[in-house]
Amino acid sequence: MAMQTSAIQEDKGNGIFHKAMSSEKPVWIPGPVIIGAGPSGLAVAACLKERGVPFLILEKERCIGSLWTLKTYNRLQLHLPKETCKLPHMPFPPEVPAYPTKQQFISYLEAYAKHFAIEPMFRQEVQSAIYDARMGFWRVQSNESEFLCRWFIVATGENAEPVLPNIEGISDFKGSLIHTSRYKDGADFKGQKVLVVGCGNSGMEISLDLCNNDAQVSLAVRDKVKCSDPGSLAPNVYLYVLLFQLLLKHVWI
């Protein structure tokens, strides 16, 4: 017996588009379902749009680029030049500096989505995605609807879920313990003693932000730390070298 489905039809003005789904039937998508409306999801959608391939983006948050908008600290900047971080078919505006700020990058993502008329379905958290070999389709279940599609693209980001290591004795720690995804501004820690664990991009930049806001910072590093010749570094990376000079007596290897 053939399965009954609802269908999302093509709107010639806006491409494929979604409407409120009141039907309990699975919704047929005549193209890929993309999970995540961050940079990767938007880039895939734009490339599909350029080739006339219909698609649907499901995003669990209320905005595009949710990791950038909701889970990043205020002073964040791109660590690579904008030419290497642009999305397909649309460069950054010329007035944007070589290393865009967090808000400049978010504005770029919003302009990108508007330019390609990409309109995700927001607050649609995918709960399961199962390939039905008998039917030859993916069955994608969100918190509100079920979708059927031939192709399923995951673009949820490598840092979508915070990971807190199980540190022995941490349950006895009386201070606050936060993940970088919840850190916003060093002003909140002025005059406090703060231990930053890890010297990746976020660890180093947050340490500098804390120092600039008069926090007493220590940095715990798992392995050896190498510094390049400051003259060969990008301007924002050069700040990291200065940070090491500030923290020289407080770095735990």
Q: How confident is the model at residue 13 (pLDDT cuts 50, 70, 90)?
A: very low
φ, ψ of residue 108 in degrees (nearest 5): -65, -45
Give me the amino acid identity at 168: E
* Calpha distance 98→197 (Å, rounded): 29
pLDDT one-digit tens code per residue, 33-87: 999 999 999 999 999 999 999 999 999 999 999 999 999 999 999 989 999 999 9
What is the CA angle 165-170-173, rounded to 5?
Answer: 140
Least confident of 108-122, 135-149, 233-247: 233-247
* Calpha distance 140→130 (Å, rounded): 7
φ, ψ of residue 252 in degrees (nearest 5): -100, 120
Whether the pLDDT of residue 97 is over 80: the answer is: yes
Residue in the block written with tokens 């090491």: 244
Residue 215 confidence (pLDDT): 94
H-only helix segments in the chain:
39-50, 66-70, 102-115, 201-212, 235-246
Residue 246 confidence (pLDDT): 55
Whether the pLDDT of residue 211 is over 70: the answer is: yes
The rounded mean pLDDT for the chain is 84
Residue 227 confidence (pLDDT): 60
Tokens representing 40 are: 């990767």
Contact by Cβ (8 Å): 143, 124: yes
φ, ψ of residue 45 in degrees (nearest 5): -60, -40
pLDDT one-digit tens code per residue, 149-192: 999 999 998 777 888 888 888 888 888 889 999 999 999 999 99
Tell me the average pLDDT across 126-141: 94
Least confident of 14-23, 73-82, 92-101: 14-23
* Calpha distance 67→35 (Å, rounded): 14
From the list 28, 34, 42, 51, the residue with the least C-alpha distance to 85 is: 42
Which of the pair, 108 or 24, is modelled with greater confidence?
Answer: 108
| β-bridge mates for residue 34, sequence order | 57, 153
